Structure 1
Amino acid sequence: MLIFEPTNQLKLLKQLNVRSFNTNSAYIEPNDVFVCKVGANLDGHNYAAHAIANGAIAVISNREMNLSVPTLVTESYEQSLDLIKSVLDHPYRLMKHIGVTGTNGKTTVAHCLNQIMNIHTNSAYIGTLGANIGGIERPLDNTTPDAVTLLTLFNDMKKANTSFNMMELSSHALIQKRADFISLQVGVITNIGYDHIDFHKTPEDYVQAKLNIIDRLADNAHLVVNLNDPHAAAAIDKARDRVNVITFGVENNQADLIATDIESTLTGTCFTLSLMGEAKKVELPMPFDFNVENALSIAATLVAFDWTIGRISSALGSIHPPEGRSQFVPLHNGAMGLVDFAHNADAIEKLLSEAKKHTRSKLLVVLGVTGDRIQQAGQIGAICHNYADIVIYTSDNPMGVDQKDLFNALTSGSDKQSYTEADRESAIRLAKQLSGKGDLILVCGKGNETYQYTTSGKTTKISYIGDAAALRLPQII
């Protein structure tokens, strides 16, 4: 059944009892509409029959197809999006959007902002941890989903009377314009290092991808910038004369928000927060100096909504870090486990540098690299051996790359001795066996993830117990 006229398409979709729209046939449930999308590697039109078998009640395609359900043909994927926006009555216009990008810290900043705002109003979160709408969590395949998924999420936010959407924006998403149809009230750039070498071919391309968040800002919106970051000037220059810029910095008197007098322990960090001549003591329940920068990102965002420094310092003292980010797990042998999502060279070096300062005895590191980061593996290996007393390499989303090749790449960065154990749970068990009282076992890369991607892409994943759970397992003697 084919329906071509736009007015008829809109009328039909509004008459159907549509549960949601989806571009992945595997996720289709009864009363869903399947949206065909041509990607870099897959053509959604080839999966329409599969979607119907899973319960799709209609298909939106970009070419004529002989299917058993109503098939609405549009000229392009962009036109399909416009149709869905009209059906859902543009739900994204009903909430304020805060977008967070950066090489590191996106998840912590967006998650904690959502936590803070939910105390006072209805806030939602979209990012690496999935989506959280009305207190209900759901998994996502990507940090920033495709536009069709986003529209469905925004429609769910509308139903939940959501006022604020805290959203991580990955460099992939910014380049692929997944969220181009929304206007941000606040854009946050936590920092810009260098990552995703497989996708962004040069450091400059990666930087420009991150700076694209500025194009998503509404006129007279706010841009939050880390003044200690080497790319801060480029961000400020791009934003000049169109949006308001709020800067933050550690020990940086040129910034609008400044953190000084930093005292860090394994249980948290104290610092003085200064804003426009006022100063307040902050007791942040997150360890390490890099979390002070994350706290400043959060504080600057709250300043954009006219929060006072007293209210901000109180909020920072009450936040709970997301699972798998600087998460401590006490061990029976007197050692301490620490699970963190750090997975690129920048984040790993910052984490190991901070952890080394607070380790009373040996520092043990368990990590791997994902298949798409094999080019960074040698650098990551060198960083590990520079700080750690014992290094154990293991698997971390090999994504079709032979694990032996990943191990060879990791060990190429140093001639120091290391252990290799492909099974991640066994690698963590080995670290526990090699540790003793006062030692710190740092398990990097997966954070709260309880799966491993094994194929060349993110199409197949196998279950994994999770790093924190593996640390908590009783030791086999």
Structure 2
Amino acid sequence: MSIQALKRSAAVLEQLPIRQFVINSEWVQPNDVFICREGASHDSHSYVDQAIKNGAIAVIANRTLHLDIPVIVTESHYQSLAVVKAVYDHPHQKMNHIGVTGTNGKTTVAHCLNQMLNQSSTSAYIGTLGVQYADVIMALSNTTPDGVTLLNIFRDMVECGVKHNVMELSSHALAQDRAGFLDLEVGIITNIGRDHLDYHRTKDAYVQAKLQIIDRIKPGGYAVINMDDPHAPAMFARCHGRVKTVSFSIHYKDTHNQDADFVAKEIVSNQFGCSFSLCYRGKQRLVCSQMPFLFNVENMLAMACALHAQGWTLDQIASGLTTIIPPDGRAQFQTLNNGATGLVDYAHNLDGLARLFSDIPNQTFRHTLTVVGVTGDRIQDAAAIGELCARYSDLVVFTMDNPLGIDQADIFRALTSRIESVSTPVFTIADRSEAISLAKQMSQKGDLIVVCGKGSETSQLISVNKQGLQDYIGDMPVLMQSMEIQE
């Protein structure tokens, strides 16, 4: 499609009372424009009639269609995106974008950065918790939406006066180039561990997907790099000569990681939060935060780097970190009326669970009772996850966590396959509410009940492709059922 053809196509659509552009015929509402795409497994051109029945007033297709409504023909989905951008007048170029990727910590970093940026400007969040800006709160089916959905969101953000967009970029989204049209001011890599090998197949492919965020940063922009991550040298090499870097380290020593820009010293952490000295080039400020655990100190260092890249002073950064409120379901403690303590956390992969359990011994609890499952797409890590939880716990209840089409009995077999050498009592209960209730019944004063995997989620994904949605009350509500909060 030539530039002239693009302008003509946009002019045709601009004459229509368009509500938004849609890529799924089932989502189409009156005054929507349906965008067809020929994918690897199915061709949405076949669903044009359904889209028109639902109210589509125009179609963008990749081949000629004879319809009674306007049809714009492009040669590829990328050209279709170009048409949408032209109609919306390129809304993504009218705000500052910060992208966050990593095996763990994406949601906390992005969500809390959004909070701090809103203190002095107007900011938005896109990620696992949905979309949040102005008075808008909207759920998403993926951590990082497709390009068309993003453009719809950006159009509305611009109309609401949003200046900053902080968004999570999953490894799937980076590999699939969902947000490839964005030029990031700042790209953050919290860490790179092991995850999603059902999709990426190899650890190297997963690492390369994460590193692609650096390629999305505009020349002269900033990459935030975790100096404690073994892949840090590869991150610096990817940035060389094109992207600036700002780095952080949590494991401070006089002769180790001395080149990190931001360092945390004198860290104190308990279930009520943490405190540490935020150090930057010989200067330091005290930070007291509501967020517990060492991994959250690491998350806050990543935030500090991003804010520094945006021109914030050390005083402003330290003050902002002190005020942030962690998202629900992330390192969330709750005292129960039997004297036990509940901890709900989103940790759901091997790396995240290892980080969580390595910090729990620093807390003062009598026994640790763990309720955990594994998602169907992570079943190859289930044996290691089961062994890890059994070694760090005094009792484990394995349960359901988004089986995604895998038989729950097979997931249980994988979770328990390597725990013979561990003496920890183990139960398998598919019903998540019953599993949490059992742990609660077996807990006593001074115990810790760790409920991992779902965080604040209130559904179970039973079948493949995130279908078969089953309502679920949520981990914290189950913990609190029939219990009064101890004052």
Q: TM-score if structure 2 supplies the norm length?
A: 0.94
User: How many aligned residue pairs are there?
Assistant: 472
CA contact (8 A) 2:404 2:462 kept: yes
Q: 2:173 maps to which residue?
A: 173
Uncovered stretches (5+) of structure 2, i.e. residues with no partner: none
Worse-superposed segment, 132-141 or 388-397: 132-141
Deviations 1:370-424 (A, max 9, x none): 1110001001001101101111111111010000000001011212441111111
Q: 1:387 maps to which residue?
A: 392
Change (3 A) 1:468 1:408: same
Q: 1:93 maps to which residue?
A: 93
How much does 1:6 deviate?
A: 4.4
The one-letter amino acid paired with 2:272 is T
Q: Secondary structure of 2:37's partner?
A: coil
The one-letter amino acid paired with 2:62 is N
Among all aligned residue pairs of Structure 1 and Structure 2, give the percentage whose two residues are the same amino acid. Answer: 51
CA contact (8 A) 1:49 1:67 kept: no
Q: Secondary structure of 2:198's partner?
A: coil
CA contact (8 A) 2:7 2:86 kept: no
Q: TM-score if structure 1 supplies the norm length?
A: 0.96
1:14-413 to 2 correspondences below 5 Å: 14-250=14-250, 251=252, 252-413=257-418
How much does 1:11 deviate?
A: 2.0
Q: For 1:359 and 1:77, how far apart are their aligned partners in 2?
A: 55
Q: For 1:327 and 1:257, how far apart are their aligned partners in 2?
A: 26
Q: For 2:419 and 2:340, how far apart are their aligned partners in 1?
A: 26
How much does 1:8 deviate?
A: 4.2
Match of 1:474 among 469, 482, 485: 482
2:456 is equivalent to residue 451 of structure 1: no
2:448 is equivalent to residue 440 of structure 1: yes
Deviations 1:428-464 (A, max 9, x none): 1111111111111111111111111111112331211
How much does 1:308 deviate?
A: 1.3
The one-letter amino acid paired with 1:110 is A
Q: Could you list the structure 1 runs, at least 4 aligned residues long, displaced by more than 6 angstroms after superposition.
A: none
How much does 1:334 deviate?
A: 1.4
How much does 1:67 deviate?
A: 4.2
How much does 1:43 deviate?
A: 2.5
How much does 1:71 deviate?
A: 2.7
How much does 1:40 deviate?
A: 3.6
Change (3 A) 1:51 1:434: farther
Change (3 A) 1:47 1:464: farther
Worse-superposed segment, 337-346 or 247-256: 247-256
Q: 1:464 maps to which residue?
A: 472
How much does 1:66 deviate?
A: 4.4
Q: Secondary structure of 2:279's partner?
A: strand
Q: For 1:134 and 1:474, how far apart are their aligned partners in 2?
A: 36
Deviations 1:96-143 (A, max 9, x none): 100111100000000000000011111011111111122311001111
Uncovered stretches (5+) of structure 1, i.e. residues with no partner: none
Q: Secondary structure of 2:188's partner?
A: strand
Worse-superposed segment, 394-403 or 72-81: 72-81
Worse-superposed segment, 139-148 or 26-35: 26-35
CA contact (8 A) 2:187 2:217 kept: yes
Worse-superposed segment, 275-284 or 47-56: 47-56
How much does 1:359 deviate?
A: 4.2
How much does 1:30 deviate?
A: 1.9
How much does 1:201 deviate?
A: 1.2
Q: 2:435 maps to which residue?
A: 427
Q: For 1:123 and 1:117, how far apart are their aligned partners in 2?
A: 6
Deviations 1:192-238 (A, max 9, x none): 00100101111111111111011001111011100011000110011
Change (3 A) 1:69 1:382: same
How much does 1:280 deviate?
A: 0.7
How much does 1:326 deviate?
A: 0.9
Change (3 A) 1:52 1:330: farther
Q: For 1:224 and 1:402, how far apart are their aligned partners in 2?
A: 40
CA contact (8 A) 2:223 2:239 kept: yes
The one-letter amino acid paired with 1:142 is N
Q: For 2:394 and 2:455, how far apart are their aligned partners in 1?
A: 22
Q: Secondary structure of 1:198's partner?
A: helix
CA contact (8 A) 1:359 1:439 kept: no
How much does 1:53 deviate?
A: 2.8
The one-letter amino acid paired with 2:413 is N
Worse-superposed segment, 323-332 or 50-59: 50-59
Q: For 2:259 and 2:8, how far apart are their aligned partners in 1?
A: 58
Q: Secondary structure of 2:181's partner?
A: coil
The one-letter amino acid paired with 2:18 is V
Change (3 A) 1:450 1:68: farther
The one-letter amino acid paired with 1:438 is G
Q: For 1:259 and 1:400, how far apart are their aligned partners in 2?
A: 43
Q: Secondary structure of 2:174's partner?
A: helix
Q: Secondary structure of 2:465's partner?
A: coil
Q: Secondary structure of 1:180's partner?
A: coil
Change (3 A) 1:172 1:303: same
Change (3 A) 1:273 1:70: same
Q: For 1:12 and 1:359, how far apart are their aligned partners in 2?
A: 66
CA contact (8 A) 1:133 1:156 kept: no
CA contact (8 A) 1:34 1:58 kept: yes
CA contact (8 A) 1:226 1:249 kept: yes
Q: For 2:212 and 2:272, how far apart are their aligned partners in 1?
A: 36
Change (3 A) 1:6 1:304: closer
CA contact (8 A) 1:114 1:124 kept: yes
CA contact (8 A) 2:270 2:362 kept: no
| RMSD (Å), alpha carbons | 1.5
The one-letter amino acid paired with 1:237 is A
